[in-house]
Structure 1
Amino acid sequence: MQRVCLGLPTMRPCPDTIVDLAEEAAYAVATFGVEVHLLVLDTTDAADFAKNADAVASLSPTDGVFVHHLGNAEQRDFLRRVAERSGAADPELLLDLMLPDAVSYGSCVNRVFLGAAALGCTSTHLRNDDFDFQVVDGRKMFPIHQELLSIGRPAGDVVADVTRSELDPADAEKPVMLVSGSFIGELNVDIGEIHELDPAVYRDLVRLWTPPVWSDEDRDAMVDVSFKGAGSEPFDSDDSVLGVPDIWDVYMCNIALDHRAYEVLPLLPSIETIGTDYALLHALVHSRLPGVVHNRHIVNYYTPERRIGAGFISYQLRFVKFLLSMLYLYPVYGGMIDLGRGLLDEQHGLKVEPILDLVRGSIEWDRAGNEHCLDVLDVSYRKLGGKYAELADVVAGRRQQLLDEAQADAERWAVLVEAWAGMAAAARTEGLTSGADA
């Protein structure tokens, strides 16, 4: 029986999301006859963990659905055993990369990947804790429906199960390692208020994440589509396309990935940085592997703590660090584009060696681009005034630290990429038996 992981990393109380995902898991079992492991990796404090635990305890038992809810201590114990078994020279460093004492969007997903490996799953289906499913005629439009039609299968066998095929016949034997929808609703980066205050400043800021080697016209075109997902068009009927996906059509919180992808390449373990969890998707897209994109988009919304006070500063600093991360990521992505199908081995799997070479090569990149980025940010935030001027003061006070951390994140990623195969193998051997199973 096919065994899959429905993964939810969370750092906040989200009982309603847990109930929704249990419903999605039950739908997958009933519709496709699979075994679903709902894996909730929870880094909340004791009070909020209890709220999530109550939601897990309230779930009705469903044949074929297994729910695992792991807190910080259980995750740390599992990851320590994996790091030590992996054979790496510095298990403590790996443990820090996997479970840092700070928010890390890449690390939390990497933990899901190792958990899925430990559970013996062949694919991971990722969701977030701040989304809703679209509802049509009283039915939730579960993305897992489209995901399980295709994930892991030879692309040629999937043609009959999609609305349209743009598959190159030469790719028919390659596996579908990525199935993704997008999102509707609010921007997936919380900077819409900046556009409302001053569209020109918004354009200046968003241009900072576009490739600097592009023309002004191309950079402005990228600004126009950035962070908007599928817009606002609600779901009508299923539409899916098989072929090489466009990176703009995939979304990390609404995606299924085959284990032959995520057991090869981990995400960046960057601290307090949004947007660095897409590196694996770039590798899959730029290697020209076939995938499926569909329109069972989730509905994105914001949690209120990121709009005021310390929560505002913390979130906007994550955006700043995202902009700085691109100095080190674009050389990697550009190299992936140049290598193309050269990123794949004879079995159509990702080769980690050329990717690791690209990551290592980016570490000593000239910081001048990031110095300029911080200069533009300072001017832009002060134009906006108010809380953004306060943000400018915080960024200015941490300027050297931010520059250093962006480079350190690239260095830490290289360490993790090199150790990842051993960690994935160790996770498969260790298994995952802790946590509340339902």
Structure 2
Amino acid sequence: MRRVCLTLPTDRACAATVRAVAAEAAYGARHFGVEVRLLVLDSSGPAALAAHREAVAALPPEPGVVVHHFDEDEQRDFLRGAIARSGAAAPDRVLGLMLPSGVSYGACTNRAFLIAEALGCTSVHRRDSDSRYQYLDGEPVFPIHHELTALGRRAGDVAGLVSRSRLDPALADRPVAVVGGSFVGEMSVDVAEIRALDPAVHADLVGLSLPPDCPEIWRRHLVDEAFRGAGTAAFTGDRTTLATVDPARVDMCNVALAREVYGRVPLPPATDTIGSDYFLLHLAHGARLPGVLHNRHIVNFHTSERRSDAGFLAYQLRLTKFLLAAPYLRAVYAGAAAGDGPLDADGLLRTSAVAAAVEEGEGPEPAENAERFDVVERSYRKLGGRYAAAADVLAARRERLLDGARRDMADFALLLDAWGPLVRASEGHPPSPKGTAP
């Protein structure tokens, strides 16, 4: 029986989301005859962790659904075992990249990838704690429907199952590697207030995420569309497109990847950097791997923590790190596509091509990223209020942030070298819940 992993990484209270994702798992098992491993990776504090354990324990048994809920201690034990079996040259450093002390959007998903491999899954389907499902006629609209319909199948066979195809016919024999949708509701990145306060500052900041040679007419459109997801329109019926999926049209709370993607290349483990978990979407797009884009968008909302002063500051730091990381990542995408390209003779991602692009890629000159930082700081000071206070914090951490963007790529290079052995070492060795024998 085909086995898939539906994962919910979380570091905050989200018992209602746990129950909702469990309902999606049951839907997938019931309608597609697969075994769904519901994987909750929990980095929450004691109170939220206890509430999540209660929520998981109260889930009704569902045929074809197996629930795994692992706290950080259980995840760490699993990682230590996999790293030891892999023979990694720097085990403590690799462990720190897989389970860092800071927030890492890439690392939490990398852990899901390895545990999915340990559980014998063929794909990973990711959701987030700050999201809900849309409803149609009183029933939740689950993205896993399109994910299980298309993922892993020959693209040519999927063409008749979608609303339209924009895929190059030359790619028809390649399997579908990515299936994703976006979100509706609040913006995924907190720039709506910036745009309301000063549209010119908003354009300057968001523009830092775009290539410097982007034509001005495209730049204005991309800035306007950035981080907005699919808007606010309610779901009224399915629309699906077979294509090489544009990463800008997908949100990581609503995506599924085949193991042929994540089993070859991990996500950058950068800490405190939004957008780092979109790396594989960009890589798959550049490699022309087929995908399906759907409109079963998830409802995004901002938690109370995101609205607090501490949450606001943390998010501005993560946004700044993302803007500083952008030119490094663009260099990697370009480098991976050069030479023999990102795919091997079997049409699979070449880990070596990505590793070489990370190690040899020419990132920005120090002066260039310093100027990018200056744009962020000046922009925040223009906005005043809590943004000016954030600018003070950014200025005090200037060198640390600039150095961090460079070090993150060195960390990624190390993880890329270790990834293949780590994946193989994870096979057949799932984590042991507390109280059970290893």
Report the more deviating stretch, 165-174 or 24-33.
165-174
- Using a 3 Å threshold, how does the CA distance of structure 1 residues 225 and 110 change in structure 2: closer, same or farther? same
| Equivalent in the alignment of 1:333 | 333
Report the more deviating stretch, 375-384 or 402-411.
375-384
| Equivalent in the alignment of 1:375 | 374
Instruction: State the shift of 1:334 in Å.
Output: 2.6
Aligned ranges for residues 381-396 of structure 1 at < 5 Å? 381-396=380-395
- Asked whether 1:59 is paired with 2:59, we answer yes
**C-alpha contact 2:331 2:363 (8 A) present in aligned 1:** no
Residue by residue over 1:1-48, the C-alpha shift from the partner in whole angstroms, topping out at 9 and shown as x without a partner, is: 110000111000110000001100111111001000000000011111
Give the Cα–Cα distance (whole angstroms) in 2 for the partners of residues 345 and 435 of structure 1: 41
- Asked whether 1:418 is paired with 2:417, we answer yes
State the SS of the aligned residue for 2:6.
strand
| Equivalent in the alignment of 1:32 | 32
| Equivalent in the alignment of 2:355 | 356
Give the Cα–Cα distance (whole angstroms) in 1 for the partners of residues 402 and 383 of structure 2: 23
| Equivalent in the alignment of 1:44 | 44
- Using a 3 Å threshold, how does the CA distance of structure 1 residues 45 and 8 change in structure 2: closer, same or farther? same
- Using a 3 Å threshold, how does the CA distance of structure 1 residues 226 and 153 change in structure 2: closer, same or farther? same
Instruction: State the shift of 1:436 in Å.
Output: 9.6
Aligned ranges for residues 286-365 of structure 1 at < 5 Å? 286-338=286-338, 342-362=341-361, 365=364
Report the more deviating stretch, 142-151 or 180-189.
180-189
| Equivalent in the alignment of 1:3 | 3
Q: Which amino acid aligns with 1:58?
A: A
Give the Cα–Cα distance (whole angstroms) in 2 for the partners of residues 99 and 324 of structure 1: 23
**C-alpha contact 1:247 1:281 (8 A) present in aligned 2:** yes
Instruction: State the shift of 1:377 in Å.
Output: 1.4
**C-alpha contact 2:75 2:431 (8 A) present in aligned 1:** no
Give the Cα–Cα distance (whole angstroms) in 2 for the partners of residues 363 and 85 of structure 1: 34
Residue by residue over 1:363-405, the C-alpha shift from the partner in whole angstroms, topping out at 9 and shown as x without a partner, is: 6641222111111112111111111111010000010010011
Report the more deviating stretch, 385-394 or 238-247.
238-247
Instruction: State the shift of 1:361 in Å.
Output: 2.0
| Equivalent in the alignment of 1:191 | 191
Give the Cα–Cα distance (whole angstroms) in 2 for the partners of residues 219 and 328 of structure 1: 19
Gapped regions of structure 2 (runs ≥ 5): none
- Asked whether 1:200 is paired with 2:194, we answer no
Residue by residue over 1:170-227, the C-alpha shift from the partner in whole angstroms, topping out at 9 and shown as x without a partner, is: 2222111101111111111112111111111111111111112323333222201111
State the SS of the aligned residue for 1:325.
helix
- Using a 3 Å threshold, how does the CA distance of structure 1 residues 166 and 363 change in structure 2: closer, same or farther? closer
- Asked whether 1:248 is paired with 2:235, we answer no
Instruction: State the shift of 1:429 in Å.
Output: 3.7
TM-score in terms of structure 1 length? 0.96
| Equivalent in the alignment of 1:74 | 74
Q: Which amino acid aligns with 2:222?
A: M
| Equivalent in the alignment of 1:262 | 262
Give the Cα–Cα distance (whole angstroms) in 1 for the partners of residues 52 and 26 of structure 2: 19
Aligned ranges for residues 200-239 of structure 1 at < 5 Å? 200-239=200-239
**C-alpha contact 1:9 1:42 (8 A) present in aligned 2:** yes
Residue by residue over 1:333-385, the C-alpha shift from the partner in whole angstroms, topping out at 9 and shown as x without a partner, is: 2334556x821112211111111111112366412221111111121111111
| Equivalent in the alignment of 1:281 | 281
Report the more deviating stretch, 247-256 or 317-326.
247-256
**C-alpha contact 2:359 2:413 (8 A) present in aligned 1:** yes
| Equivalent in the alignment of 1:432 | 431
State the SS of the aligned residue for 1:152.
coil
Give the Cα–Cα distance (whole angstroms) in 2 for the partners of residues 199 and 288 of structure 1: 35
State the SS of the aligned residue for 1:321.
helix
Give the Cα–Cα distance (whole angstroms) in 2 for the partners of residues 435 and 388 of structure 1: 44
Q: Which amino acid aligns with 2:268?
A: L
Q: Which amino acid aligns with 1:415?
A: L
Q: Which amino acid aligns with 2:391?
A: A
Q: Which amino acid aligns with 2:384?
A: G
Gapped regions of structure 1 (runs ≥ 5): none
State the SS of the aligned residue for 2:341.
helix
**C-alpha contact 2:269 2:412 (8 A) present in aligned 1:** yes
Q: Which amino acid aligns with 1:192?
A: A
Identity of aligned residues (%): 50
State the SS of the aligned residue for 1:387.
helix
State the SS of the aligned residue for 1:39.
strand
| Equivalent in the alignment of 2:145 | 145
State the SS of the aligned residue for 1:430.
coil
